[in-house]
Structures are given as structure tokens and as C-alpha cells.
Copies of this chain bind each other. A is one copy, B any other.
Amino acid sequence: MIDLELENEIFELIENKGFQKLKQILSELNPADIAVILDDIEEKDLALVFRILPKELASEVFVEMESDRQQFLIEKFTDKELKSVMDELFMDDAVDIIDEMPASVAKRILAQADAATRKVINQLLAYPDDCAGSIMTTEYIDLKKSMTVADAFDRIRKRGVDSEMIYTCYVTDARRHILGIVSVKDLLLNSYDAVIDDIMEDNIIFAHTHDDKEEVAAMFEKYDLMALPVVDKENRLIGIVTVDDAIDVLQEAATEDMEMMAAILPTDKPYLKTGIFQTFKSRIFWLLILMISATFTGAIISSFEENLTVVPALIAFIPMLMNTAGNGGSQSSVTVIRALSLGDIEFSDIFKVVWKELRVALICSAALSVVNFAKMYLIDYLIFHNFDPGRHIAEILVVSITLFIAIIVAKVVGSILPIVAKKLGADPAVMASPFITTIVDAVSLIVYFNVAVLILNI
């Protein structure tokens, strides 16, 4: 936690090259806070300030920085500096950094690692970005079941410094199959001569290297995990996922869903770090698609143009009908999309979902129609004199009936499409509000004009 005053003092010290004092201040701070500062200072000062950090802290700060800043620093580093920073990193962090670098920089980093590390890094890099393998680390504490608690503590002391998560230990056999897990809490609460085999938990929650990383992250939420073992196809322990990475995945997934709900192509950078053109690219795609697809709604209106000139009062209610139905549809689609990603519903629930949405839609559309009728009669007719006095009731009915039908269609379509999308292997969130709205717009207009023709005989 860092306040504005301290931040200003730091920026002043950088400006005035007060590196002695600066070093002292930075050494007291948390790596994540220092990274925020380094992401903000001018490029010319970056390498200078980074170099005054103590070695271990420097690596911890480096991990937290933005990737363009990391790249800038790596390009300034001597080979020795690069090796020193990379040596301190946990394997999964090293892989994440390399993954973001251009090939030439990645190659230079790998050249600093010893052959064994390079092999592991290359294996981890090979996992697709959306699977558990891509977020796991290979550094964990493994135990044998014949060990005693005292042996286990010895092993933790020996391996601990290099392991990201020492509080859950994995008991494996000679072929690296997991037999059980032991928490350090179990170790602490048992006597030193207790045997691991007797105290380990053998009902293990685990994931496979190629499982979807969002589903793996959701397991942390469901089972309150701190770490999760990851096995390969032969059920051999390959690595572990730690809770901090699971949180990042859950947050990224939520951000992505929101972006898709707002017709944005997902970007994975913080808002202010994304360039103008990159932001433009992430937004223009759906705007264009949705704009052009509005040709349909335009065509529908055009084909009823003559009817509209007969009863021009109907034009004024087009936006209200489209928006209300659109809102109703996106309420359903967003609810279902979120329930799918939280694991609250799955494909087999589709009938339960539709049945529920149908009943909710009926009450919603009934309420809206009634309120709309009253509102149109009181405001639009009595105050604004918007309708032909002779058939104002009929005209108001047209709008209310359309509203009733359109909301029901919108909610049912909005709830079905995301579930179907998931079943087909697509991301349910692509079926979010803008997409649904386009369908619902067309449906609302067709219903509107047909009801109008029918009731008003135009």
C-alpha cells in the first residue's frame, strides 16, 4: 500500500537522482507496488532505477511489471543481469514472461538457462494458452509414503526455497503417480515419527494438463484450494497450479465475458496500457458487424413504410419496443452466461432454464404490457394527443401486445442461445446482449407491424 505523498517523493528522488535514499525507500515496499511505479516512470530512468533494487526484490518486481516494460529492460540487461533475474523466478512466472516476448528476446532468455531448466520451460511453453498446463508450475514438494513427518520437514527445508507452494505436499510413487496429499498443517499437527502413508489424504482433487484452465480455476473456488496437482495422460504428476494464478484466471475470464457482453474482442492488457489503435481494433469488429446486420431491421421498416405513413404515431414507439425487448433478452442471456461460467448450470439443465425463463418472461411481459397501456393512455394519448381519437385504444393495444410477445421471445431466445453455443464448443458469451439484441430487434419489428396490420386493418 503506497500513498500519493510517498509516490511523489519517489518520483522526485528519481528526478534528482537521489538513489541512496531511493534504494532505502524501495527496499521497504512490496514488489507489486514497486512494479506499478516502474510501469509509470520514463523509459530513460527505468533501467537505472531497476538496477538499484536488491537482487531478490528485483526479480519479484520484474515478474509484476507490464510485458512491454519487461522487454525494454531485458534489452538493456547484460547477459549476466538477465541470468540473475531469471534464476530467481519460479518456473511458471519465467514461462509467462517468455511467452509474451518476441522470438529473439525469448531465445536470448532461454540461452541463459541451464539445459534442464530450458527443457522444462520449453515443455511448459508447448501447452496451449487455455489449458491447465499453461498456468502450472513444476516446482512443488514431493514426498514418499514411507517417509516420517520428520523426513518430510527435512525435505521441505531442502526444497522449500525453490518451491512456490510448500503448504501442500504431494506423495508420489516411483513412477510419479500421486498417491496422496499432505498439508503442512497435517505435518505440524502430527508427531515427528508419524508415517506419511498413515496421515496422507488419498481422496485427491486433481486436473489434467489439457483441462480448460477456467474450469480448473473454478475448482479452487468450489473446493477452497490453495494448490491443485496437475497430471498427464498417464496420470503422472507434472506440476501444480497455485491459488494466485487461479485468481488471475478467474478475473481474466470475468473480464473477457464482460467484454464479449459489450461487443468487444477481448484484450489482455490493462485499460491505460492498451494503445489507441489496439483498442480501436478490439471494438470496431462487432460495431461493423452489428451496424451492417441492422440492414435487416431497416429492410423490415422499409417494407412497412406505407403502413407507417398511414399511422405515423406508430413510429414513435419503435425505439421503446426494440430497447425493452433487447433489455429483456440481454437480462436472460447475461444471467445464463454467468451461470454457465460459474458452473451453476450445464447443458442438461436446458429445459429447466427455458421453463424458468418462460415463466419469468410471462410475468415480466404481463407487467410491462399493463404499465405500458396505462402509461400510453395517460401520457401519450391524454397529454400528447398522439393517436387518432377514434381508434386510440386499438393503437395502444398494438404496442402493448407487441411488447408482450417480444419480451417472451427475447427472454427465451436469450436463455437458449448461450447454452447451445457452449454445447457447440463456442464461448457462451459470444451470444451476449449485442447479438441477441439484433435478433430481438428484427423479431420485435416483424411482430409490431403484423399486429398493427391485423388490428388496425391498415
Contacts of A161 in B (CB 8 A): 189
Do A298 and B316 contact each other (CB < 8 Å), given the known contacts A258-B334, A323-B290? yes
A137 CB–B CB distance under 8 Å: no
A318 CB–B CB distance under 8 Å: yes
Contact of A312 among B224, B251, B277, B309 (CB under 8 A): B309
How many copies of the chain does the oligomer comprise? 2
- Please, what's the 1-or-0 string for A50-91, where 1 marks a CB less than 8 Å from any CB in chain B? 000000000000000000000000000000000000000000
Contact of A339 among B30, B271, B327, B359 (CB under 8 A): B271
How distant is the Cα of A297 from the Cα of B386 in the complex, in angstroms? 14
Interface segment among A9-17, A121-129, A362-370: the answer is A362-370
How distant is the Cα of A324 from the Cα of B298 in the complex, in angstroms? 13
Do A319 and B297 contact each other (CB < 8 Å), given the known contacts A226-B226, A363-B276? yes
How distant is the Cα of A232 from the Cα of B184 in the complex, in angstroms? 30
How distant is the Cα of A380 from the Cα of B284 in the complex, in angstroms? 22
Contact of A264 among B262, B294, B305, B331 (CB under 8 A): B331
Interface size on A, as a range, is: 35 or more
Max chain B Cβ within 10 angstroms of own Cβ: one of A302, A313, A349, A364: A302
B283 x A298 contact (CB < 8 A): no
A261 CB–B CB distance under 8 Å: yes
Contacts of A1 in B (CB 8 A): 205
Contacts of A290 in B (CB 8 A): 323-324, 327
How distant is the Cα of A166 from the Cα of B226 in the complex, in angstroms? 13
A322 CB to closest chain B CB (Å) equals 6
Main SS of the interface on chain A? helix
A319 x B294 contact (CB < 8 A): yes
How distant is the Cα of A438 from the Cα of B326 in the complex, in angstroms? 12
Interface segment among A103-111, A172-180, A215-223, A390-398: the answer is A215-223
A264 x B335 contact (CB < 8 A): yes
A157 CB–B CB distance under 8 Å: yes
Interface segment among A94-102, A233-241, A242-250: the answer is A242-250
B364 x A272 contact (CB < 8 A): no
A223 x B372 contact (CB < 8 A): no
Residue ID in chain B nearest A202 by CB atoms:
B28
Interface residues in A315-349 by Cβ distance below 8 A to B read 315-320, 322-324, 327-328, 330-331, 333-339, 342, 344-345, 349
A160 x B184 contact (CB < 8 A): no
A343 CB to closest chain B CB (Å) equals 9
A334 x B226 contact (CB < 8 A): no
Max chain B Cβ within 10 angstroms of own Cβ: one of A189, A247, A322: A247
Residue ID in chain B nearest A363 by CB atoms:
B280
Do A380 and B32 contact each other (CB < 8 Å), given the known contacts A318-B319, A323-B290, A367-B288? no
B441 x A360 contact (CB < 8 A): no
Interface residues in A404-446 by Cβ distance below 8 A to B read 407, 433-434, 437-438, 441, 445
16 pairs, CB–CB < 8 Å, chain A vs chain B: A29-B203, A160-B189, A167-B184, A226-B226, A243-B243, A247-B247, A247-B250, A262-B433, A263-B330, A279-B360, A287-B407, A291-B320, A294-B323, A298-B317, A309-B309, A330-B433
Other A-B pairs, 5, CB within 8 Å; known A247-B250, A271-B335, A294-B323: A153-B188, A276-B363, A287-B327, A290-B324, A302-B313
- A contacts, CB < 8 Å to B: 1, 28-30, 32, 153, 156-157, 160-161, 166-167, 184-185, 188-189, 203, 205, 220-224, 226, 243-244, 246-248, 250-251, 254-255, 257-259, 261-264, 270-272, 276-277, 279-280, 283-284, 286-288, 290-292, 294-295, 297-299, 301-302, 305, 308-309, 312-313, 315-320, 322-324, 327-328, 330-331, 333-339, 342, 344-345, 349, 352-353, 356, 359-360, 363-364, 367-368, 371-372, 375, 379-380, 384, 386, 403, 407, 433-434, 437-438, 441, 445
